[in-house]
Amino acid sequence: MAAAFATLLRREGIDVALGNVLLFVDALGQVGLDTRAAVYWAGRATLVHRPEHLPTYDRAFAAFWLQRERIPTLRVADQPLTLVFDAGDGPQQDEFDRPEDDDERHDIRQVRYSPVEVLRHKDFAAYTHGEFDEARRLMADLRLGGALRKTRRRKPARPRTRRTAHPDLRRTVHRSLKLHGEPLQRLFLEPAERQRRVVLLCDVSGSMEPYTRALLRFLHAAVVGRRRGRVEAFALGTRLTRLTRELANHDPDAALAAAGRAVDDWSGGTRLGDVLRTFNDRYGVRGMARGAVVVMLSDGWDRGAPGELAAQMARLRRVAHRVVWVNPLKATPGYQPLARGMAAALPYVDEFVEGHSLASLEHLSKVIAAR
């Protein structure tokens, strides 16, 4: 019976492989032939793989299993078409729950879409308020961690690195006591690893206003998900504002509200050179940026002198492990870094990446974690 039904489906234009027929036989053995719904869903789950084949499968099922008269396939122009949008988070409708005396036939095509996939590549500047709320939940899943570096501390060595590791005399002698002082098994130590500090400097000037809200959400997710205080956040404008404490609140709305109260130059001008000099003098050169991954989130528009920005970027580059510049405008077709600030800073940047969408921020997380 399963083979005959598969033959009918092939005649109707549905490509059914032999393996699918065997799966259909196994499914019928599990659910039985007592109820119509069980047979219908067993065949639909194993024999149909494309949504546009569902109307053909329904007609073939009714003709073969229900002994109904086969209804010829109507032309697309003459057949009523019904589109059912499915977001993937609700129950599916059972077409065979309709009354059997319903002779009205429609071409029901189920169109699925993923709002998550759409938001991942959509520009932050085109977001609505509802999409920002959805993006906030997606950003909460991001885990930002700096690249690993070796420390002066040592840990027990793995077997494949023992040849180049340092002998662990203490553990070797301790274990030899169980064998009457014979050191039959020698143990070794190797350098331990820890994540590098990540310093995020976000431009909050007027030119960055379409992206500031989304980027601050990213900063909040990074600070909340930090490990052992390894993430620091700052706001850049006409002055420097440290936001690590304000963004440490696990409530995103409360954290952004506190950050808004702390920043006095919101949506104002930009003096990247002067602000970066303040960062280097107070925090960067003194230790915060030493061996760290420093991330600048800015479009590069600067009212200050380009020479000052270049000099401060050179200072920062000498102490930082890597400098990453995130520019939301880089995704614009035909973009070139012609702004004075961007052109002055680019020679001292290790990675120049986009920052206009969720997908670009996911890529940024991988760039920061790279060695």
256/165 same-domain check: no
Best CA proximity match to 233, nearest among 263, 200, 255, 258: 200
Does the structure show a pLDDT above 50 at 102? no
At 109, is the pLDDT very low, low, confident or very high (cuts 50, 70, 90)?
A: low
Residue 164, pLDDT > 80, answer: no
CATH code for position 253: 3.40.50.410
Candidates 8, 13, 40; CA nearest to 24 is 40
Same domain for 247 and 185: no
Same domain, 237 and 324: yes
Over 50: is that where the pLDDT of 96 sits? no
Task: Put the strands of the sheet holding 198-203 in their side by side order.
Answer: 240-242, 231-236, 198-203, 293-297, 322-327, 351-354
Asked whether the predicted pLDDT for residue 259 surpasses 60, the reply is yes
Query: Per-residue b/e over 138-169, b at no fewer than 16 CB within 10 Å?
Result: bbeebebbbbebeeeeeeebeeeebeebeebe
- Where is average pLDDT lowest: 137-146, 184-193, 195-204, 340-349? 137-146
The parent domain of residue 178 ranges over 152-194
pTM across the whole model:
0.63
Same domain for 57 and 30: yes
Give residue 344's pLDDT: 92
What is the per-residue pLDDT across 122-159, written as a single tens digit (0 to 9) for each? 888 888 877 887 777 777 777 777 667 777 777 777 76
Domain identity same for 235 and 341: yes
167 and 66 in a single domain? The answer is no
Q: Which amino acid is at 319?
A: V
Asked which of 136, 161, 194 is the last residue of a domain, the reply is 194
Token representation of residue 55: 């109307």
Q: Are residues 176 and 60 in the same domain?
A: no
The last residue of a domain, from among 56, 89, 113: 113
pLDDT in tens, 27-74: 998 888 888 888 999 999 999 988 888 999 998 888 888 876 554 444
How many domains does one find in the chain?
A: 3
In terms of domains, do 207 and 339 share one?
yes
Same domain, 227 and 185: no
Mean pLDDT of 95-111: 49
- Is residue 111 over pLDDT 70? no
Judge if 108 and 130 occupy the same domain. no
Alpha carbon of residue 191 to chain centroid: 32
- Do 30 and 82 fall within a single domain? yes
Given this model, what pLDDT does residue 340 score? 87
Residue type, 299: D
Same structural domain, 245 and 265: yes
Averaged over 222-242, what is the pLDDT? 85
Q: Is the separation of the CB atoms in 269 and 208 below 8 Å?
A: no
Q: Could you tell me which of 111, 23, 11 has the C-alpha nearest to residue 59?
A: 11
